[in-house]
Amino acid sequence: MKVRTAPFEQLMVMRLRWFSTLSVLLAWTLTSIPAFAHSEKGEAIDFLGGFTHPIFGLDHVVAMVAVGLWGAFLGAPAIWLLPVVFPLVMAVAGALGVLGVPLSGVETGIAISAIALGAMVALAARPPLWIAAVLVGAFAVFHGYAHGVELPVGADAIAFSMGFVVATGMLHLSGIAFGALSQWPAGRIAVQAAGGIIALIGVAFLTGVI
Got the DSSP string for 179-194? HGGGGSHHHHHHHHHH
Give the pLDDT of residue 93: 92
The more confident residue out of 116 and 42 is 116
Of 121, 148, 28, nearest to 67 by C-alpha is 121
Please tell me the least confidently modeled range out of 44-58, 63-77, 105-119, 122-136. Answer: 44-58
Q: Is the pLDDT of residue 36 over 80?
A: no
Which pTM value belongs to this model?
0.73
| Euclidean distance between the first and the last CA atom of the chain, given in angstroms as a whole number | 53
Q: Is the pLDDT of residue 19 over 70?
A: no
Structural domain total, the chain: 1
88 part of a folded domain: yes
Side chain identity at residue 103, one-letter code: L
27 part of a folded domain: yes
The more confident residue out of 67 and 97 is 67
172 part of a folded domain: yes
Give 122-160 pLDDT, tens digit per residue: 999 999 999 999 999 999 999 989 878 877 666 666 777
168 part of a folded domain: yes
156 part of a folded domain: yes
Give the pLDDT of residue 15: 52
- How far apart CA 86 and CA 136 sit, in angstroms, is 6
Segment 18-32 mean pLDDT: 45
Rg (CA), the chain: 17
Of 125, 118, 127, 139, nearest to 195 by C-alpha is 118
197 part of a folded domain: yes
Q: Is the pLDDT of residue 29 over 70?
A: no
CB-CB neighbours of 14 under 10 Å: 13
3 part of a folded domain: no
Q: In sequence order, what are the residues at sequence separation of 6 or more whose Cβ sits closer than 8 angstroms to the Cβ of residue 90?
A: 140, 141, 143, 144, 147, 164, 165, 168
Give the pLDDT of residue 192: 94
Give the pLDDT of residue 142: 94
The more confident residue out of 183 and 109 is 109
Contact 49, 157 (CB under 8 A): no
Q: Is 44 exposed, middle or buried (0-12, 13-18, 19+ CB in 10 A)?
A: buried
1 part of a folded domain: no
pLDDT band at 68 (very low <50, low <70, confident <90, very high): very high
Give the pLDDT of residue 119: 96
* Domain with 82 in it: 10-209
Q: Is the pLDDT of residue 26 over 60?
A: no
